[in-house]
Amino acid sequence: MANQNSTLPQATQHQGSLHDRYEIYRANAESLGWPVKTFEEWLDS
């Protein structure tokens, strides 16, 4: 179902808030043994 009133692409609409997206990044980075950026560093990257 496409939202006809939205200007964002459908995929963007389903990505969640920035904090949700950061938590996904953080969990994946930790599981891979990568250094985890702070939320602010992640936003700036």
Q: Is residue 40 part of a domain?
A: yes
Cα distances (angstroms) measured from residue 33 to each of 21, 24, 25, 27, 29: 18, 14, 12, 10, 6
Domain tally for the chain? 1
Domain membership of residue 2 (yes or no) is no
Residue pair 22/39 in contact (Cβ under 8 Å)? The answer is yes
Which amino acid appears at position 6 of this protein? Answer: S
For 1-29, how does the pLDDT look when each residue is reduced to its tens digit (9 = 90+)?
Answer: 555 556 656 665 566 899 999 999 999 99
What's the pTM value of the predicted model, to 2 decimals? 0.65
End-to-end CA distance of the chain: 32
Residue 3 included in any domain: no
Q: 4 in a domain, yes or no?
A: no
Domain-located, residue 8: no
Is 9 within the bounds of a domain?
no
Helix (H) or strand (E) holding 41: helix 39-44
